[in-house]
Every structure is written in structure tokens, then in C-alpha cells.
Structure 1
Amino acid sequence: MKIYPFDKPTEKQIEYAQYLQSYIQDDTSITHMSKDELSSYIKFIKPQAEEVMDELRGHVDDVW
């Protein structure tokens, strides 16, 4: 599938997707996704990543 320049994801979208991936340890390649595909992917993994972040925050609060 060819991705046209106007359909490429922004750098912020890519960075945000990589940030979310780091929490859920997802190995999905985001480099070949279009803007819409990446947006859908972010919406898909965001709840999972937020759940992990909340769990980590809960443990940090107990220590301090």
C-alpha cells in the first residue's frame, strides 16, 4: 500500500504511539501505517496503556 504525503502520520502521532506501546509491550510496526490507521491503532491501545499506567501510579503512591 502506498502512503501519500498528505496521508502520512505526524511525528507527534508516531511518538505518542511509541510511548503507549512502551507500556503494553506491543511489537506492532507503526512505520508503515497511514494517518488514519495510526489514529485507529492509538485509540485501540490507549485504554490498555492507561490501565498499566494507573497500576504503576498506584504502586508509586504506596511507596512515597
Structure 2
Amino acid sequence: MRWWKMLGLAGIAGVAATGVVIARAERRRRAYTPEEIRTRLRERVEASAADPDQPEGRRS
């Protein structure tokens, strides 16, 4: 029965670690001002327009 406990604890630790990663990414995403977001999007559009060899569906 002891290995079931270890498996359960490992599962709980994995869920907690995933939650931490998601929360950290969300905080980083929300830290941008609207102007910073616009600037980044414009840069991405310019970069994808400058690379015509990139397939249409794969542009970032």
C-alpha cells in the first residue's frame, strides 16, 4: 500500500507544479500594457510579411 501513497503524493505535486507554471505565465501576460501588446503584434506582422517562404498557416 505504500507505493499508492507515493503515487498519490507525486500526482498532487504534479498538479501543484502545473498550477504554479500557469499562474506565473498568466501574471507575465497580464503585465503588458495595451500599447506594448499593439507594438508586439505589429512587430510579428512585419516579421511574417518579411518572410515570404514561411507557409501561410505557420506565420506567427
Common fold by TM > 0.5: no
Larger Rg: 2
Point out which structure has higher relative CO (alpha carbons under 8 A, 6+ apart).
1
Normalising TM by the smaller chain, what interval? Answer: 0.3 to 0.5
Question: Could you state the TM-score of these two structures normalised by the residue count of structure 2?
Answer: 0.35
